[in-house]
Structure 1
Amino acid sequence: MPKTTSFLIIFLMYFFTSNNPFAQSIDIIPKPVSVVMSQEKFTLNSATSIILPSATLRKNAQFLQEALHSLTPFSFPILENTSANFILISIDTAKVAQKEGYQLSITKNEIKIIGHDEAGVFYGIQSLIQVAYQAQNKGFNLAACRIEDYPRFPYRGLHLDVGRHFFPISFLKKYIDLLAFYKINTFHWHLTDDQGWRIEIKKYPHLQSVAAFRNETIIGHKKDFPHRFDGKKYGGFYSQDEVKSLVKYASEKYVNVIPEIEMPGHASAALAAYPHLGCVGASYKTATFWGVFDDVFCAGNDSTFTFLQDVLSEILPLFPSKYIHIGGDECPKARWKVCPKCQKRMKDEHLADEHELQSYFIRKIEKFLNAQGREIIGWDEILEGGLSPNASVMSWRGEAGGIAAAKQKHNVIMTPESHLYLDYYQSLHADEPTAAASFTPLSKVYSYEPFSTELNHEDEQYIKGVQANIWTEYTPQPEQVEYMVFPRALALSEIAWSPKTHKNYADFLSRLRQHRSILQQKKVNFFDRFEEITYHFSMEKSGKSIIHFSTTLPNAKIHYTVDGKTPTPSDKVFKNQLIIDKSTTLKAQIFVGKNAYGKVFEQAFEYHKAVAKNVILKHQPKTNYNPDKPFALTNGLTGNARYNNSQWVGFSGEDLEATIDLESMQSISKVGLNLLKYHWQRMWEPNVLIFLVSEDGIAYKEVYRTSNFPANGINQIRAKITPTKARFIKVQAENKGIIPAGEYGAGVKAWLLIDEIYVE
């Protein structure tokens, strides 16, 4: 190869790298389908105008004008004819074939945005605005590029629960603005629940005067006991005029608003206003704490359907949405089982059980809405007892409901609790604001793939999109909602919009770092520690704990201590792995130079004779409480009170029987385990806990028994016994079984949660 050609190639490679400020990849979220960069730049200045060839796009042009003016000192006049240094917006379905798709080209003298439709133009504008944000410190010099872009899924949703806590219209508008900025096109507005009815229904004024308010609100987490309350009346509702205004505002941002009116469950507030709609017909109250309640709409009462049809008749004119969400989730059947009207309905309609009664209820509402030209969508419980003919399903209890519905040729929105519930903790630090439970960091949200491997290609067409949900039991203020939702909603936007082949977490984080300043300028109270320490513990048969730390933060080092002291830049730097083989407290901290990032990681290790010994379980743990790792019950690590650090082992309605082989005869003087007791989370202490020991694994003798578990929360059992020789330890705990009447969750299986079987 000639030297001149070789030099030219090297020069061009250099020119198109990050050393050239105008040849960088641009940091758009969600990632576009195609981006081709060039070395030119377009400069926004006082001469820049917006060219509008069609009056149908005037609102889009005005939106662009206002957005750019807010970022720059320039006015951006809207003109009909071209001039130098202009931004042209237009629609051309021949050039852009996909719905909501757009082309954005930035050259030295012009910017062109071509959309398939008005929404496509709008999304092209949003991408341009993101580029403009990033050019603020570059003299408003926009990197030249050509973008071809369109969404992967037609439904891209974000939810907000206003039933538990009420938020002002001003915040809802900000919320919608943020959805639109990241190309999320659906706002699922959860308007009614046990704790409050939030929309004006003129025919039923008690929904405003009674159902919209509760007498007080629980303080802290519902698992805490005894429950404490603030003693303050709380509530509010949106007038129909406010709803119309918000829906119109959202439509101008190409966001569809789907209202949710819960039925047949989560009806306490409505029953407080109109008690004749319940099975008992007694005095109901708007709920003051969180949970699932037995009192639901009576399915045997004709007036129930009259009421709901009247409500929906006032709802429909406010919302042009094709979908009306009718809930359908978490509907206990206890009242229906003993209600004469419900039982008569079942007999008259030849329904086999109460699940079919719920299906009857949903089908009756669906028939009414279909007659009005609308379709129902509901949570995946609407599958139980048979799916209504035209219903769409939101699959929240995992993917199974969505898979089943898709195989039945029903449209599905995937919104699994495991990955897309944003009211779950995004950090395991103990001082995080109270949240529902579990642990859903940004990386886990981003990892979600809506197409299950259980679906064939033909059935995939029924997966219409994805949605993330934010329930607000523990987020009473707008700032807290923002903290829980962002930046995880940006990960959602990329799942919903970008091609699967384009998903790359490291690349996403690189772009997200640039969006920090954008979120700050938009005054979003976002979670800004998404690059804190992640870790993995594993245990070798030798009893050594192997720790792996990592962080995605560039140019960062992780310093650690094993003596319980807070790490400093002068402490040891984590490299490949760290080994722990004795009781200690490990702490770690990210540093960039001498500057600490995030919070201190801390983990205690408690070594004892059972550490790294095999455990044989008679019954296998269930669902989220089945740690997929060896030595889960003998690894020296303890579960936390938020039960979200993957250490708790759970049994649903089944007894615990665990046998540990210490591998040699040992002198035993103390036995124990940790046990979680939260009745308000359906986590119950066992009826009895027994420890037995054996020399040969055949003949066992009892060494300890207790039925006393006084603590609400973690009960740490450490029982001294008469010193004895043994090789085998057997632990038996009798599950509470079915939760008794009068208790929260009565009639369902109790959870038995244990962690770390201790032997000394």
Structure 2
Amino acid sequence: MNKRTLLLLLILLLFANSALLAQQVSFSVVPEPYYIKQGNGGLSITDRTTIAYSDELKASAELLNEAVLSYAGFALAVNTQSPANQIVLKLDSITVKEKEGYHLVINDRQILIKGHDQAGVFYGIQSLMQLWKPHDKTSLRVEKGEIRDYPRFNYRGMHLDVGRHMYSIAFLKKFIDLLALYKFNVFHWHLTEDQGWRIEIKKYPKLQSVSAWRDGTIIGHKKETPHTFDGLRYGGYYTQEEVREVVRYASSKHVNILPEIEMPGHALAALTAYPQLGCTGGPYKTAQFWGVFDDVFCAGNEDTYQFMEDVLDEVVSLFPYAYVHIGGDECPKLKWKKCPKCQQKIKENGLKDEHELQGYFMKRIEKYLGTKNKKAVGWDEVLEGGVSKNTTIMNWRGEQSGIAAAKENYEVIMTPENMLYFDYYQSLDKNEPVAAGNYTPLSKVYGYEPIPDSLSSEQAGYIKGVQGGIWTEYMKDEKHLEYMVFPRALALSEIAWSDKREKDYPWFLKKLRYHEGFMKRTKLNYYPYFDEIIAEMKSGANGNSYLTLKTTLPKAQIRYTLDGSVPHAKSKLYQGPVLMNRSMTLKAGLFVGTRRSGRIFNQDFQHHAGLGKKISLSYAPAGKYSFSAGLLLNGLEGHHRFNDSQWLGFSGENLEALIDLGALRPVSRIGLNVLNYHWQRMWAPKKLNFLISADGKTFKEIYTGGNFDINGINKIRKEFPSENIRYVKILGENVGRIPIGEYGEGEKAWLMADEIIIN
């Protein structure tokens, strides 16, 4: 075989593989099915296609017809006689054994959807809707093939907070449609908050006239002080008839609605209308900004329990789902400690402290729900005071609380905020709209596994499902909400539905790129930059710093500049890690051929003598800011959003860092960045010292400072006459506990530090 023939065969093989891949992607579904196989050719759905179904599947057939009408402009007639050119819907629990499971077959003559139950038939229809595509003005085209499918978890949920910002009934229906399309089966409707009470309770009309409204809303992020407000009255509520309408609609899409009534915390809106239910009697005011507030329902007041029972009486009458969420999170105990009624309740019931008082509160509510044939769901704080095993736990504060609950035989819905909260930034690009704080890209969501290896098979059985969180402080409108949630919700759908052995991130991205056409047709304002450039700084063996760039976009080239100019199709081609041997701004772009795709990537780099040098810390950083000490010497300065994994955080502890430059060298400038965001519980050090030494034994203080009162990043820089030194010591004294009267008073303060600069 000559070289020309071999080259021709390789080209043909490449095109054949590309065509096969394109074919496979066109016959793909999100979430990934348990079994899927594409056949040869396709089938057209036209105005001559008919539907066959039994009476109990009439609702599913009507939904299918509505979908066909919206896509193709025609409806299908019912015909149970001829099997040709027909969509057949059947219940078959014998061959489809799993609950909510379905079997979809598309062949030359018909489309057959068999379901274990009505939900199974419905999910088969949802998969069919993802497979078809407009062929011409008079038909839909679907590839032939077969899918056998059923869910991994019984509970597949998505939460939505309407207390901070409220959304129309029309949007809620669209949201439910999207949940159903991706096979979620629970809509967790968070209805009450400090910033607004959103459900009509007829026995307490002031919840509508007072608690549903606030006098204004904070502008920008809550960390930015002084707080400014728009002064616009904001609010509203869903009437009970509207709630019933949403419940009916969700039921038709096989989505259960889990209502949440927050207690005993997040109560300011309710207390504004009924101040006698608080520990101090008020006056109170519905919150105009975001956070956790000390004024909560009085747990020592019997009127509080009567109020809660009355509210729940009306709530359970509206929601047929077997569960009611009763909150339990973020309830400060400061008012309870000073409240005579709360202290008397502790004494009367032999409780140890205020944590057990919250446990008493939640147990009473849980027991009352039991009289209504309902089960309670609570955030993981409810475990601290003790609740019965009848309560289902949502572990928002992290995976460990879910693991602990499962080991204690509680049913658990895995909802860790660091993995599954969609109010977090999905990109580090500085042009992203304001979000809550941290960074949860699509890849991180997709990589989450709800059943940890640390659980036995028996304990793993208590993990009943998984849920994404949508907290809406910074989502003022429906388009912004869509941007934050999609496509991360699609990644979550595969966690919730698909066998973990079938998950594959590169394949998921291929499906997602193909699926973009559907999202555009449905006018979904999804986040389109999931293939953007990401970077990682590394130190080489020679002590130099190198920036690695990568993307998940196939066939894309990365081109970059080092002078701050915008890269174009003839800019330098990225072929390996970039040496960062001076202070610079690197900008990079993705190019498919000569066309640039997506946004420009920007990275500022600060070159200095401390880069990559040995550093040791006396106290370890904590929580989600517990990164390697080397980040303090990598040339990358952290962003004010503090979500870029560049900030080290010390919870109640001091910053004590020792840097070894490896040899004597002249130094005349030392710097450090610290954060000061009191509304994030981040406090600049009350005292900061820079010290230098030639031998590591005798240190000379060259800087002492304090009172870093800039709200945001405080850049401390000290210049001094040049000295030959080897060691630098940085001492930052944490304020310890947050002062009384400040947000989060009594809690440990965060000392946040980044980039020690030595020149």
The residue aligned with 2:665 is: 666
SS of residue matched to 1:588: strand
Name which of structure 1's ranges 603-612 and 329-338 shifts more when overlaid on structure 2.
603-612
Does 2:22 align with 1:44? no
User: Structure 1 residues 709, 23: CA separation in 2 closer, same or farther (over 3 Å shift)?
Assistant: closer
Q: Is the 8 A contact 1:22 1:41 kept in 2?
A: no
Q: Does 1:496 align with 2:486?
A: no
Query: Partner letter of residue 594 of structure 2?
Result: K
Corresponding residue of 2:207: 207
Tell me the SS of whatever aligns to 1:632: helix
Instruction: Provide the residue aligned with 2:605 in structure 1.
Output: 605
What is the rounded CA distance, in whole Å, between the counterparts of 1:619 and 1:756 in structure 2? 17
Rounded Cα–Cα distance in structure 1 between residues aligned with 2:138 and 2:645: 46
CA deviation map 1:23-65 (0-9, x unaligned): 766121011100122114212122100001x211101001001
Paired position in structure 1 for 2:182: 182
Counterpart of 1:318 in structure 2 is: 318
CA contact under 8 A between 1:659 and 1:730: conserved in structure 2? yes
Rate the CA distance shift 1:17–1:596 in 2: closer, same or farther, 3 A: closer
Superposition map of 1:578-727 within 5 A: 578-628=578-628, 631-727=630-726
| Residue pair 1:27, 1:514 contacting (<8 A) in 2 also | no
Give the whole-Å Cα distance in 2 for the aligned partners of 1:230 and 1:101. 50
Give 1:593 shift.
Answer: 1.3
Post-superposition CA distance 1:239-259 (Å, at most 9, x none): 000000100000000000000
| Partner SS state of residue 703, structure 2 | strand
> What are the within-5 Å matches in structure 2 for residues 226-625 of structure 1?
226-540=226-540, 542-625=542-625
| CA shift in 2, pair 1:379/1:134, >3 Å | farther
Under a length normalisation based on structure 1, what TM-score does the superposition of the two structures give? 0.96
Q: Which runs of 5+ in 1 are unaligned?
A: 1-10
Superposition deviation, residue 137 in structure 1: 9.5
Cα distance, 1:542 vs. partner? Answer: 2.9
Deviations 1:665-712 (A, max 9, x none): 222221110011101101001111011111211111211111131311
- Output one character per residue of 1:485-523: Cα deviation in whole Å (capped at 9) or x when no partner: 011100010110011001001100111111111111111
Please give the secondary structure, in 2, of the residue aligned with 1:263: coil
Q: What is the root-mean-square deviation in Å for CA atoms of aligned residues?
A: 1.8
Q: How far, CA to CA, are the matches of 1:95 and 1:610 in structure 2?
A: 67
The answer to whether the 8 Å contact 2:657/2:731 transfers is yes
Aligned length: 748
Describe how 1:1-150 pairs up with structure 2 within 5 A: 18-19=19-20, 26-52=27-53, 54-133=54-133, 140-150=140-150
Q: For residues 254 and 14 of structure 2, what CA distance do their matches in structure 1 show?
A: 40
AA matched with 1:198: R
Distance in 2 (CA, whole Å) between partners of 1:550 and 1:428 is 14
C-alpha distance in structure 2 between counterparts of 1:203 and 1:530, whole Å: 48
For 2:717, the aligned partner's letter is R
SS at match of 1:180: helix
Residues 84-106 of structure 1 deviation map (CA, whole Å, 9 limit, x = unaligned): 20000010100100000000000
1:131 partner letter: L
Name the CA shift for 1:24/1:523 in 2 (closer, same or farther; >3 Å).
closer
Q: Any idea what SS the aligned residue of 1:721 has?
A: strand
Give the whole-Å Cα distance in 2 for the aligned partners of 1:136 and 1:604: 50
Q: Structure 1 residues 545, 402: closer, same or farther in 2, change over 3 A?
A: same
Q: Tell me if the contact between 1:22 and 1:144 (Cα under 8 Å) persists in the aligned partners.
A: no
Is contact 2:394–2:412 with CA below 8 Å preserved after alignment? yes
Shift of 1:140: 2.9
The 3-state SS of whatever aligns with 1:94 is coil
Q: CA deviation at 1:643?
A: 0.4
CA-CA distance at 1:459 after TM superposition: 0.6
8 A contact 2:132–2:143 mirrored in 1 = no
- Per the alignment, residue 728 of structure 1 pairs with 727
Distance 1:181 1:158 in 2: 13
Q: Which residue of 2 aligns with 1:193?
A: 193
**Cα distance in 2 between the residues matched to 1:124 and 1:739:** 55
Please report how far the alpha carbon of residue 69 of structure 1 lies from its aligned counterpart in structure 2 after TM superposition: 1.8
Q: Is the 8 Å Cα contact of residues 68 and 132 (structure 1) preserved in structure 2? A: no
CA deviation digits over 1:259-294, x for unaligned, max 9?
000001000001001001011112001001000000
- Residue pair 1:51, 1:88 contacting (<8 A) in 2 also: yes
Distance 2:96 2:244 in 1: 32
Which residue of structure 2 aligns with residue 8 of structure 1?
none
Asked if the contact 1:88/1:111 (under 8 Å) is kept, the reply is yes
Given that 1:16 and 1:24 are in contact with CA atoms closer than 8 Å, whether structure 2 keeps it comes out as: no
SS at match of 2:58: helix
Aligned equivalents of 2:564, 2:697: Cα separation in 1: 43
Higher alpha-carbon deviation: 649-658 or 36-45: 36-45
TM-score normalised according to structure 2 size: 0.96
For 2:510, give the aligned amino acid.
Answer: S
Q: Distance in 2 between matches of 1:134 and 1:537?
A: 46
Return structure 1 stretches of 4+ with deviation > 4 angstroms: 11-17, 19-25, 134-139
Secondary structure of 1:453's counterpart equals coil
CA distance in 2, matches of 1:134, 1:619: 61
- Write the distance in 2 (CA, Å) between the matches of 1:552 and 1:134: 28
Pairwise CA distance, 1:650 = 0.7
Shift of 1:136: 6.5
Cα shift at 1:12: 13
Instruction: Report if the CA contact (8 A) 1:541-1:612 is conserved.
Output: no
Distance 2:439 2:24 in 1: 39
For residues 108 and 14 of structure 1, what CA distance do their matches in structure 2 show?
A: 27
Q: Is the 8 A contact 1:22 1:39 kept in 2?
A: no
1:151 aligns with 2:156: no
State the match for 1:7 in structure 2. none
Q: Which letter maps to 2:409?
A: K
Tell me the distance in 2 between the aligned counterparts of 1:13 and 1:67. 37
Structure 2 residue matching 1:218: 3-state secondary structure: coil
Give per-residue Cα distances to partners, 1:8-35, cap 9 Å, x unaligned.
Answer: xxx9999998359867661210111001
Judge conservation of contact 2:675–2:751 (CA < 8 Å) in 1: yes
Cα deviation 1:363-421 (Å, max 9, x = unaligned): 00000001111000011111112232310000111111111111111110001111100
Aligned pair in 2 of structure 1 residues 191, 68: CA closer, same or farther (>3 Å)?
Answer: same
Instruction: Output one character per residue of 1:555-600: Cα deviation in whole Å (capped at 9) or x when no partner.
Output: 2110011121111110111123222122111111101112111111
Letter in 2 for 1:106: I
Any conservation in 2 of the 1:16–1:23 contact (CA below 8 Å)? no
Question: What letter is aligned with 1:428?
Answer: L
